[in-house]
Amino acid sequence: MILNFDNVLLFIEPKTDKSNEPVDDEMTLFIEKLLNDAIANKSKTMGVVLQNGSWYEGVSTKGWHTCRCKQTSSPHNYEIYKGIYTNSLAAHYLRSHRNEIPEVELHKVRNLMQKVSNNL
């Protein structure tokens, strides 16, 4: 499922195998940290992003999503920041499929980095 809403990050479907040169920059580590924090607090942060971009709190997806490279997601999406949602493969996409991430998605990640750093 590919989605593009301002508050929904990295719902993409890479079309090529994962890169041999993983990107472990600030963006990957930032999303990975938010995701890990969310997963650790699963009871409060898990849910599902619906097709229309809205959030359905506390439920699981009907299955899991498998990335082109065989990496599988968990059957949950997460609220990684107030009102901002992503899937469990978000850090994987940034790290292993960076060249396939549309600029609009990278832009959303940068905006969130800015937002988070302003609120610290």
Ramachandran bin of 108, using left for φ above 0, alpha for ψ from -120 to 50, beta for the remaining angles:
alpha
- The residues, any chain, with a CB within 8 Å of residue 54's CB and separated by 6 or more, are none
Closest distance to Zn ion from the beta carbon of 83 (Å) = 27
Closest distance to Zn ion from the beta carbon of 10 (Å) = 12
Closest distance to Zn ion from the beta carbon of 96 (Å) = 5
Q: Are 64 and 74 in contact (CB under 8 A)?
A: yes
Written as six digits, the tokens of 5 are 């809403």
What CA–CA distance (Å, rounded) separates 29 from 94? 9
Contacting range for Zn ion; rule: CB under 5 A; set: 14-22, 53-61, 75-83, 111-119:
14-22
Does residue 18 bind Zn ion (CB under 5 A)? yes
* Residue 117 vs residues 10, 47, 48: alpha-carbon distances, Å: 20, 25, 26
Nearer residue to Zn ion within complex by CB, 76 or 92:
92
Closest distance to Zn ion from the beta carbon of 21 (Å) = 14
Contacting range for Zn ion; rule: CB under 5 A; set: 28-36, 42-50, 65-73, 99-107:
65-73
- Where in 67-106 is the site for Zn ion (CB under 5 A)? 67, 69, 71
Q: Are strands 55-57 and 46-49 parallel, antiparallel or unpaired?
A: antiparallel
Contact residues toward Zn ion (CB under 5 A) are 18, 67, 69, 71
